[in-house]
Structure 1
Amino acid sequence: MEQIEHKYVEVAGLKLHVAEIGSGSSPAVVFLHGFPEIWYSWRHQMIAVAEAGFRAIAPDCRGYGLSDLPPEPEKASFSDLVADLLVLLDAISVPKTFLIAKDVGARVAYLFALLHPEKVSGIITLGVPFLPPAPLSFNLLLPEGAYVSRWQKPGRAEADFGRFDSKTVVRNVYILFSCSEIPTANENQEIMDIVDSSTPLPPWFTDEDLAVYGSLYEKSGFRFALQVPYRALYEDFDKTNAKVEAPALFIMGEKDYFLKFPGMEEYIKTEQAKNFVPKLKTVYLPEGSHFVQEQFPEQVNRLILDFLKSHI
């Protein structure tokens, strides 16, 4: 971990924090995190790909971790993150890269590949497959108490989270998102109240890991994280030709609660995404949760390295 270097890159008037390891002349691999994650969620993968001869780059996206919060986070969109990535790659002299993305980052990675195919060598996503670049409607079918439904309502999550320190919020989300069911509260209950204070962390997530997350969210807060992804899910990208020609790998934990979203398991297991990403391969990890890259780093690293080496 001490070999990972940290710097700031100015993008659209914001200073974005970037973690990096590996030679600048090596093939680039950019890691895009999800929520409640930050660059640190890729710690195992960054070291593995760097040791294999790649340049590993993991930014905190705007509003997350050590990166600046934009002036009006409530107006932010996925398009902002796509635009940031384009400027960032130019700033750090990366003409073409592999994208490895999780959760929120998966949507950013595929949108980037659609808009800038010449800059993408290949794509790996974890937990979230390619989804057509249109407003996401499956969320409308979730119950009112589902975490997505609750967090889309301005003010409600802020009040819920505001009762706790950042470390406790991250702890609770990690516990909830490690389960195989969609986190859903009762009518008169908030999402944070689902987790009992005595519930242990997942065994692969240490107190030291939690401390890192807690300290970074102390800086950033959750304003941007609630906007993107949750309140920006209905963004329309006006992109009709949704075809990604780059080689792609999708890694899915079979105990990931995301499979329980309406229509998602059928969409994934019937490989409907191949209509949009013809060179897509899907791999399942039977015991994998939503945080499969932290839960099973050796298995995930092996899949990543096999993919990278076969598409250099």
Structure 2
Amino acid sequence: MENIQHSHVEVKGLKLHVAEIGTGEKVVVFLHGFPEIWYTWRYQMIAVANAGYRAIAFDFGGYGLSDHPAEPEKATIMDLVDDVKDLLDTLGISNAILIGKDFGAIPAYLVAAVHPEKVASVITLGVPFILPGPSAVQNHLLPKGFYITRWQEPGRAETDFGRFDVKSVIRNIYTLFSKSEVPVAGDDQEIMDLFNPSTPLPPWFSEEDLTAYASQYEKSGFRFALQVPYRSLTVESGLIDPKVNVPALLIMGEKDYCFNFPGMEDYIRGGVAKNFVPKLETIYIPEGSHFVHEQFPEQVNKLIIEFLDKQSI
């Protein structure tokens, strides 16, 4: 970890916090989800650097140590697509491999669809290809206490989260979302109420890890995270029939709660996702949760490096 270098890179007026290790000619760019930051990729960055790649992970604008956009409430996932492309341009990287986790998977695929010349291959964890828009997540097929529905409601999550310090919010989310059930609150509950204070952290997530996450969210807060992805997930992307034509790998923990989203298991296991990503390969990790890359880093690192080494860039 001490060999990971940190800097701020200005991209269209925003200073983005960038972590980097390795000097290989082949570049791997990691895109985090929520409640994550660059740190979620600590194991993967070191592994791919040791395998001869240049590894870059950054905090999306509005997250961690990166600047907030001027008008966060107007931001959409397509802004993240621009951020990735512009960061590559600013760093002088003509072509890269993108690895996205959770909602970070969405811009990973969309950058490859919109700027195919910039992307050699795509790896995602926990989330397949999803096109933002009204049908991105079938909220109406889940109870009204579904966490995405709750977090899309302006002010509701802010009030819920505001009852706790930042560290407790991160602890609660990491613990709740490492289970196989979709988080759904009852009529008399908020999402944070689903957490049982006696529940320990997952064995693969230490107090040191929790402190690292919390220290960065104490700077950024959750304002932008609630807008992107949750409140902007239904905003149309403007893309018509996008295709990701580069080689792609999807790594799914079989105990990932996302499998219980309506239609998701059929979409992944039934091969429907290949309609959008024709060269997609999917690998399942039987005991893996939504945080499979932190839970089983050696196994995930091996899968990533084997896939990368098969590609040409």
What TM-score range do you get, normalising by the shorter chain? over 0.9
TM-score by length of 2: 0.98
How far does residue 139 in structure 1 lie from its aligned partner after superposition?
Answer: 2.3
Amino acid aligned to 2:126: G
Tell me, in whole angstroms, the C-alpha distance in 1 between the residues paired with 2:203 and 2:33.
20
- Partner amino acid, structure 2, of 1:68: D
2:83 aligned partner, one-letter code: D
* Separation in structure 1 between the aligned mates of residue 138 and residue 147 of structure 2, nearest angstrom: 13
Are residues 1:192 and 2:198 paired?
no
Output the TM-score relative to the length of structure 1.
0.98
Q: Answer yes or no: is 1:164 the counterpart of 2:164.
A: yes
Note the C-alpha offset of 1:134.
Answer: 3.9
List aligned pairs for 1:228-267, cutoff 5 A: 228-267=228-267
SS in 1 for 2:164: coil
Q: Give the whole-Å Cα distance in 2 for the aligned partners of 1:162 and 1:132.
A: 31
Rounded to whole Å, the distance in 2 between the matches of 1:227 and 1:142 is 21
- Identity across the alignment (%): 65
- Three-state SS of the structure 1 residue aligned to 2:266 is helix
Aligned residues: 311
1:217 paired to 2:217: yes
The AA in structure 2 aligned to 1:32 is L
Please state how far the C-alpha of 1:79 moved relative to its aligned partner.
1.1
Residue deviations 1:20-76, cap 9 Å, x none?
0011x5200000000000000000000000000000000100000100111221111
Kept in 2, the 8 Å contact 1:133–1:242? The answer is no
Aligned to 1:54: 53
Judge conservation of contact 1:111–1:133 (CA < 8 Å) in 2: no
Q: Where do 1:19-34 residues align within 5 Å?
A: 19-23=19-23, 25-34=24-33
Q: Which amino acid aligns with 2:88?
A: L
In the TM superposition, what is the alpha-carbon distance from 1:271 to its structure 2 partner? Answer: 1.1
Range 188-197 or range 150-159, more displaced: 188-197
Q: Hey, what does 1:96 align to over in structure 2?
A: 95
Paired position in structure 2 for 1:75: 74
Alpha-carbon distance in 2 for matches of 1:14, 1:303: 34
Distance 1:62 1:171 in 2: 22
What is the root-mean-square deviation of aligned Cα atoms in Å? 0.9
Taking the aligned partners of 2:220 and 2:238, their CA distance within structure 1 comes to 31
Aligned partner letter, 1:102: K
Q: Secondary structure at the match of 1:124?
A: strand
Q: 2:109 maps to what in 1?
A: 110
Cα drift, residue 11 of structure 1: 1.2
Kept after mapping to 2: 8 A contact 1:73/1:224: yes
Report the 3-state secondary structure (helix = DSSP H, G, I; strand = E; otherwise coil) of the residue aligned with 1:19: strand
Q: What residue number does 2:295 align with? A: 295
The answer to whether structure 1 residue 206 and structure 2 residue 206 are counterparts is yes
Deviations 1:223-274 (A, max 9, x none): 0000011101111112113211100000000000000001101111101111
Residues 122-174 of structure 1: CA distance to partner in whole angstroms, max 9, x if unpaired?
00000000124543141232211111111000000000000111110000000
- Matches of 2:157 and 2:132, distance apart in 1: 26
Residue aligned with 2:301, SS: helix
Gaps of 5+ in 1: none
Deviation at 1:197, TM superposition (A): 1.4
- Which SS does the other structure have where 1:34 is aligned? coil
Take 1:265 and 1:236, find their aligned partners in 2: how far apart are those partners? Answer: 24
SS in 2 for 1:245: coil
Could you tell me which residue of structure 2 aligns to residue 7 of structure 1? 7
Amino acid at match of 2:16: L
CA contact (8 A) 1:77 1:228 kept: yes
Amino acid at match of 2:165: D
Distance change >3 Å, CA 230–CA 90, structure 1 → 2: same
Cα distance in structure 2, aligned partners of 1:47 and 1:67? 22
Distance between the aligned counterparts of 2:182 and 2:241, measured in 1? 32
Q: Distance in 2 between matches of 1:63 and 1:264?
A: 29
Q: Which range moved further: 134-143 or 286-295?
A: 134-143
Quick one: distance in 1 between partners of 2:239 and 2:256?
Answer: 29
Runs of 4+ in 1 over 6 A off after TM superposition: none
